Amino acid sequence: METLIAIAMFVIGMILGSFVNVCIYRLPRKQSIIWPPSSCPGCGNRIRPYDNIPLISYLLLRGKCRHCKMPIHWRYPVVELATGLLSVGLYFKFGLTSQLLSLSVLTLLLITISFIDLEFKLILNKLTLLGLLLGSVLSLLLNNFTVKNVLLGFVVGGGVLFLVAILGNLVFRKESMGMGDIKMAAMIGVFLGAKGVGVSLFFAFVFAALICGVGMLSKRLQMQSYVPFGPFIALGTIFYLFAGETIVTWYLQRLNF
């Protein structure tokens, strides 16, 4: 039974990933995510349902449009596979619980925000504000959060990055943290609470330091290079969901707390 549920979660996750791909492409271009139906950006031909099956159609078409043979962006199968795998992972971690629903919504938002930020260097207000609303409602109704928990998560998430932004401006004499990042952290705070967002941001800075460090050592990044921080926030948050509590508990035990 558990295997069947996991398969169902994977399929549902990939279907949701297909919709996330629509959002990633259309929202920053200020296009409707409902109409018109998907079409090839190269030749304009409408994508038929049998060519729009998550992941499978990409493999059958060998990554190219059926009509004009224009390569399909690598993001489409990556997002669909990632949402499928994360859906299964969240199911095994949290079971069929209200927490699974809440964290699935958060994960979909994180993926959408991250890929838009990677391409456009932009975190859309419509996504973070939607996340703040959904996160607050889901946390209060499903996760036994109090209004105080939600507000504290909001303040800690946004406050930490706001302080980082101020310090960065003073040290580097330029903007080092955008308001989109701050709003994204506040959004995560209402989903996870103060501790959850605090630990998530810690992991985000660790991942950012490691990846940027490797980038500079390999000469692919320079000190003045702009690197979007949104994907690191998402990566740190997802890492926290699956391993954060275990690591924090282990660390506190080592300190004899």
> Where in the chain are the domains?
1-96, 124-257
φ, ψ of residue 64 in degrees (nearest 5): -135, 155
Model pLDDT for residues 162-184, shown as the tens digit of each residue:
998 888 777 766 666 789 999 99
**Integer distance in angstroms from the first to the last C-alpha of the chain?**
40
Helix, strand, coil shares, percent, the chain, to 5? 75, 0, 25
pLDDT at 76: 95
Name the β-bridge partners of 64: 71
Q: Which amino acid is at 64?
A: K
Q: Is the bond preceding 231 in cis, omega lying within 30 degrees of 0?
A: no
pLDDT in tens, 199-214: 999 999 999 999 988 8
pLDDT of 257 reads: 55
Highest mean pLDDT among 31-40, 105-114, 155-164: 105-114
Q: Is the pLDDT of residue 39 over 90?
A: no
User: Is pTM beyond 0.85 here?
Assistant: yes
SS3 call for 192? helix
Residue with the bigger pLDDT between 37 and 187: it is: 187
